Amino acid sequence: MTTRAYQEIYLSRAQAALGDAFDYAVNVCRIPGADFVKLFTVSSVSKRMENGEPAILVGKSGVEIAADVIFETTGKQPEAEPQERFGCSREYWIGWAICYYQWFSARTYSDIFDVLSYEDLVNMYYTLHEADISKFADIIDEKIREHFKDTNLKRIRSIYGCTQAELAKHSGVTLRSIQMYEQRNKDINKASADTLYRISKVLGCSMESLLEK
């Protein structure tokens, strides 16, 4: 089960804010979409949205979010005045949809944009902007899972420099279970808290980081 950073009651506000941020940055400030994606993902603003900080989710408008991103990453305050817009632009939809998927999946914006380019999202707009957002989420989820083929357990274990056999020995979890978790033949999200605790203690990570999103 995915643990989300904030409650669904804040989601529509967050989506609208990020949609407005993309719209303002691209259409008013004339920052190329791909460039704004880079600025956004390296900024602390994206991390604060991921963490569900109320000051960002409900405390700032989309224009303020975009201005914070631009100032933090370039050192310059945007001078373009916000414009009244009627209807949702393509750029608004991109920010709105990506915000939903980040909340839905609990993945980082950095991971999401590693898989999806701004151009990919522009192309998706023409076929999906009138569809239910769940269809967009399903398509993105498939792309993300295909890109990140290794399970979190395998990735963390490899970084730690531990073999499956060593992990089994030190954690007390059977080698077969570890193999099955890594091959997705057994769902680690359904593992007992004790199993997750034993594995995480050996690998020096949190129990949550072992779960699949």
The fold of 152-210 is: 434 Repressor (Amino-terminal Domain) (1.10.260)
List C-alpha distances in Å: 4 to 37, 50, 147, 170, 208: 22, 9, 21, 31, 11
Question: Which tens digits make up the pLDDT trace of 16-64?
Answer: 999 999 999 999 999 999 999 999 999 999 999 999 999 998 899 999 9
172-195 exposure pattern, b = at least 16 Cβ within 10 A, e = fewer: ebeeebbeebbeeeeebeebeeeb
Tokens of 58: 């409900």
Residue among 36, 53, 28 nearest 95 (CA):
36
Question: Which tens digits make up the pLDDT trace of 192-210?
Answer: 999 999 999 999 999 999 9
Question: Which tens digits make up the pLDDT trace of 111-162?
Answer: 899 999 999 999 999 999 999 999 999 999 889 888 878 899 998 999 899 9
pLDDT for 141 equals 87
Domain range annotation of the chain? 8-147, 152-210
pTM of the complete model beyond 0.95: no
Number of Cβ atoms within 10 Å of the Cβ of 126 = 9
